[in-house]
Structures are given as C-alpha cells and as structure tokens.
Structure 1
Amino acid sequence: MAFDKDAHTDHISQQFNEELETIKSHLMTMGGVAETQLNQALDALIEGDSGLAQRALKADDQINDWEVAIEEQCTRIIARRQPAASDLRMIVAISRAVSDLELIGDESAGIAKYALALLEEDSSHRSFNEIRQIGDLVREMISQTLTAFARYDINMAYKVAKKEKDVDEAFQTAMRSLVTYMMEDPRSISRVLNVIWVLRSLERIGDLTRNISHHLIYLVKGVNVAHSSLKEIKKAVKG
C-alpha cells in the first residue's frame, strides 16, 4: 500500500498524530545539524579556518544526542501504539535515516580532524580542488535529500540517488590525479594522503545520503530499493 502523507492526520488519537509529527520534525532538525557540520568541516579546510573545524567537531556530540533521543521516541511509539502499514513504515524509515545521519556526522567530524592536520602543514591548496568539487556534489545531495524528506518528494529522492554516481566518478578521477601527483612530488605524500582520506569520507557521505533517499522511497512506495539499480529505482518511483 502506498503512503498517504495526510493519512496519519486521521488517527483517532491526536496525540499519536503529534508523536509522528514530532519524530519527523526532530529528524529534520538533526539533518540540519548534520548539514551544517559538513559545511563547517569543508569550509574549515578550504578557507583555512581552524575555528570552523573545532565547531564541526563539537557538533558531533549534538548529532549523537539527537540519534539517541529519536531512536527512543521511535521505540516508545512502536511499543505503545503498535502502528501498522504506512505509519510503521514512517517510523522505520525515520529510524534508518537517523542512523545514516549519525554516520554522516562521524564522517564530517573526521573531515574536520583532517582539516586541522592539513592546516598545520600550511601547504598549498593544490589538492583542495578535488575536495571542493566532490564536496559541492555531496553538499547538494544532503540539501536535496532533506528537502525531499520534508516534502515526501520521491522524484527528488531519485535525483539524489542518481547524483551519487557522479560522486563515485569524481572520486575515481580525483584518486588517479592525486596518485600521479604523489609520484611526481614525493614530498607531497603526507599531505595528499590526508586529502585522500577526506575524499573517502565524502564518498562515504554520498553513499549514506543516497541511503536516506532510499528510505524515503520505501516510506512513500512501500518498496525496499536498498540494493536496486537506478533503473529499478526509477521504476519504483514512477510505478
């Protein structure tokens, strides 16, 4: 059965309605924190701002707190309300999205740590071009995913899933370029390795953001597309 975004407003219990709206609202808040944290970590690196890196590191605790709080809310709703059909899918989708957002927070914190390490080296920004390119793609993915979840927009969710392929391709291109750069200038190895780890974190964030778009499609369509091809996902969205 497909998801009706207005269906849960018809519950006999107004309190149940409010509980469902609350966990979704909290998911959006947590997503906003994760998005800001990533922006801070990337801007810290690209702009050479250690203060932003420290703020990104501190945000990880806030994200962890949100994860615990929302998971507890989801557990209480399941235990007390025993939701069925689309209500249960909504809770499951939110719970899965929360887990992915927490992992995005971990990766962003890692980027902030590498930013501090790279800034201490006080070297050129040559290798930051790859970070900026892939970082912009991932920033856009997160923004679109959160917007899609807020609107139950599965067409936008599908676009996010497609964009993850662009991240993978950009990552592979960057890796080839950076390996060549290290071979040409062995003195750059330490710095470039840090850049590579940042790019790996960004690739991972792209994967996690794609997962969140999958959870939304599951919520709305009732189809698990976690291991589906883009063609299969498109069919599920349009079907």
Structure 2
Amino acid sequence: MPDKHLSSRFDTELARVSTKLLEMGGLVESQIACVLEALKSFDLALIEHVGDAERRLNLMEIEIDDEVVNVIARRQPAASDLRLLMATLKCAANLERVGDEARKIAKRTRRVAVDAGAWKLNIAEIKTSGEMATQMLRRALNAFARMDATAAAQIVRDDEAIDAEFRAGVVKLVTSMKEDPRTVRIGLDYLLIAKSIERIGDHATNIAESVVYVVRGTDIRHEHRKQRGHEIYGK
C-alpha cells in the first residue's frame, strides 16, 4: 500500500510538471497569434502585451526547471519517467526561445508599421510560413499532451515545408530590394521577421523530436532526414 501511495504521488508530480509546460505553451501560442496578426494588419495594439508575456515565460521556464530538478532529486526516476522529465526541460527551453522570437517579430513589426513602403512589398510567403509555424507548434504541444509519437514524427517531416516557404520568401524579398533600393531597409526587417518565423518552426520540431524520444527512447535530433524517417517509421 505505501508503494502504491508513493507511485500515485509521483504520477501527480509528473502530471503537474506537464500541465505547467502546456500552460507555458498556451501563452506562447497567444504571443505568436498577436504578432502575426499585427504583421498582417499593422495594428500595434495587438503586440503591447508581448513584452509582459515574455517576462512571464522566463519565470515559467525557471519554475519548471526547479520543479523537474526537485522531482528527480526526490524520486530518482528511471527509464521513461526520466526521459519525460528531461524532455520537459528541453521543451520549456524551446518554448522560451519561441517567446524570444515573438518579441523580435514584434520589434520589427513596429518598425515596418510606420514605413509607408511596407505596403508595397509582397510578403505572402512570410505570412504563410507564419501560419505554418503556428500550426506546427500547436500540433507539437498536442503531441506532447497525448505523447503521440506518430503525430510528432509527422511534424518533424513537415519542417521541410516551412523551410521551403522561408526560402521562397527570401528570394522574393531580395529581388524586390534589387529592383527598388528604397525598399532595402524595410526588406531587411522583413527578412529578419521571416528568419524568426523559420526558427519558431525549428523549435516546434525540437519539441516533436522530444516526444519521439520519450515514447520510443530514440534520439533523432542529429540524424539525417532520411535516417530520421527510418528511425521514426521503421522504413
């Protein structure tokens, strides 16, 4: 009976840590939604809370780190439980970095919003990649909540699509800047925004890779894409 009681308390602690991570993920999703909508509409009121949210994210990461360390010290978990705790630390770090990228997008959006030339540049690919990155992050968090390695594996594969959209957007922006030197300054801001969006996709992929690690015990972070497909799908 005592062993069952201790096991129940341990499960509760694991669930609490995971819940905190998903709360952090929800805050990050809200940040991204605001900055991407501001990028479309240039409504700067949408990004006023981004700085405050980033400070909250920093605190949440520290709280998760402390709680995970305490759980490991008290319970000395083994196998899958230890993988879950270590993956939670990595996911919290990735979410905090997504928050950093959202802050960078907000900063650049403020700059482009006051430049009349911003309306002249076609940033369709940047907007599309932003939507893709948002969806990837949401799917990665859902995969973490369900510990769904199959869904996580698909996210890893989908990272190539957002990279392709990023490259297409860069080519279009560079071409526009060559054709009209007056758009260079604003074009550079858009390039940095595009890079931040691409990085958000990378962090979503990192979270998905962590899910695969927890469920299957396979670390696929540094594998070649084809090899990762073999490790994940067994083909």
TM-score when normalising by structure 2: 0.93
- State the match for 1:6 in structure 2: none
Contact 2:121-2:176 at 8 Å conserved across structures: no
CA distance in 2, matches of 1:108, 1:184: 30
Match of 1:174 among 163, 166, 169: 169
Whole-angstrom CA distance in 1 between matches of 2:30 and 2:123: 20
Q: 1:126 deviation in Å?
A: 2.8
Aligned to 1:39: 33
2:222 to 206, 211, 227: 227
Uncovered stretches (5+) of structure 1, i.e. residues with no partner: 1-9
CA drift at 1:60: 0.7
CA shift for structure 1 position 128: 3.0
Secondary structure of the 2:220 match is coil
Match of 2:136 among 134, 141, 161: 141
Q: Is the 8 A contact 2:123 2:169 kept in 1?
A: no
Aligned pairs (5 A) from 1:97-176: 97-122=91-116, 123-124=118-119, 126-176=121-171
Q: Quote the offset at 1:11 in angstroms.
A: 7.1
Structure 1 distance, partners of 2:215, 2:23, is 21
Superposed CA offset, 1:176-223 (max 9, x none): 111110010000111111000000101111111111100110000001
State whether residues 127 and 192 of structure 1, in contact with CA within 8 Å, keep that contact through their aligned partners in structure 2: no
* Alpha-carbon distance between aligned partners in 2 of 1:169 and 1:111, rounded to the nearest angstrom: 20
**Cα RMSD (Å):** 1.4
Aligned length: 230
Give 1:62 deviation, angstroms: 1.2
Distance (whole Å) between structure 1 residues aligned to residue 111 and residue 52 of structure 2 = 17
Which runs of 5 or more structure 2 residues have no equivalent in the other structure?
A: none
Q: Which residue of 2 aligns with 1:18?
A: 12
Distance in 2, Cα, partners of 1:143 & 1:40: 15
| Amino-acid identity (%) | 33
Deviation at 1:101, TM superposition (A): 0.6
Aligned mates of 1:15, 1:158 — CA distance in 2? 31
Whichever residue aligns with residue 31 of structure 1, its letter is G
Q: Which amino acid aligns with 1:36?
A: S
In the superposition, the TM-score normalised over structure 1's length comes to 0.92
SS in 2 for 1:223: coil
Structure 2 counterpart of 1:214: 209
Which of 45, 49, 54 is the equivalent residue of 1:51? 45
Decide which of 87, 90, 93 is 2:84's aligned counterpart.
90
Match of residue 65, structure 1, among 59, 70, 79: 59
